[in-house]
Amino acid sequence: MLFDYHMHSNFSGDCSTPMEHTIQSAIRKGLKEICFTEHVDYDYPDPTIQFKPDLAGYDKEIKAMQAKYEGEISIKKGIEIGVQPHVLDRCEKLVLEENFDFIICSMHATDRKNLHHGEFFHNRSAEAAYQLYYEELLNCVQNYDQYSILGHLDLVKRYKKLNSNENFHEIIREIFQTIIPKGKGIEVNTSGFAYGLGSAMPSADILTLYKECGGEILTIGSDAHEAEHVAHRFKETLQLLESIGFEYITTFTNKEPTFHPIKQII
């Protein structure tokens, strides 16, 4: 009874995989429910890529796939919104105008600079870059509430590795103290394994901190851009979550959470 709550199709600017291929892969792997989370990144600082999906086409395709695979797998409609402080009004407008089951709040650019190509790290130490990344993420969650969970919270480590996150636990704790009372959660994104990080995102120390802060809402997602990556390394990740003390994985319908005991999944 697995759920993959972070995946992309050719409705995302960085993915060419047809939605149906990913659905078929999920069925072969025995998943009960999946959620597509196509990218929307306003003012993304890379002119070579557009993270503005055809929302009408996306809605039409989701509905067609839901009808075709009814009884085989539950398919939910989500979105991954890339936040930056100066685009929060646009993000809120989108969510209020469209219907989604689930919304991931992610930060892919900081200081209006690209994380992926490394521009953000130019003329900054790794420590200074991490601090600014978390400060800007904190600013966003203090001023924006239209989401379900925070995506890959420590994504910054994918682009510039440090030996430890511990120097940033104080500001990460502040992020958790902001989102938890609002009923927001975090995701465990297993694409960290594929990128050679040795763990999901966030890492175990941050997950433990989230638990200590009273966090309970967790989703698990592969961030699959190719069909074969669906549910990548889920079993060991769920075992880690259980060892930390988490009891549930969450799914969403019309933005409302449902809690599933981890013991019944692994």
Q: 141-166, pLDDT tens digit by residue?
A: 999 999 999 999 999 999 988 876 77
Q: For residues 220 and 202, what is the distance between their CA atoms, to the nearest angstrom?
A: 11
Radius of gyration (C-alpha) of the chain in whole angstroms: 17
Are the C-beta atoms of residues 126 and 162 closer than 8 Å to each other?
yes
Domains and CATH numbers, the chain: 2-264 (3.20.20.140)
Q: For residues 172 and 153, what is the distance between their CA atoms, to the nearest angstrom?
A: 9
* Positions in the chain short of pLDDT 50: none
Q: For residues 204 and 241, what is the distance between their CA atoms, to the nearest angstrom?
A: 8
At residue 64, φ and ψ (nearest 5 deg) are: -65, -40
Q: For residues 198 and 231, what is the distance between their CA atoms, to the nearest angstrom?
A: 16
Tell me, what's the pLDDT at 129? 94
The continuous run of DSSP H or E covering 34 comes out as strand 31-41
At residue 229, φ and ψ (nearest 5 deg) are: -90, 0
Tell me, what's the pLDDT at 165? 74
At residue 182, φ and ψ (nearest 5 deg) are: -85, 0
HEC string of 150-180 equals ECCCCHHHHCCCCCCCHHHHHHHHHHHHHHH
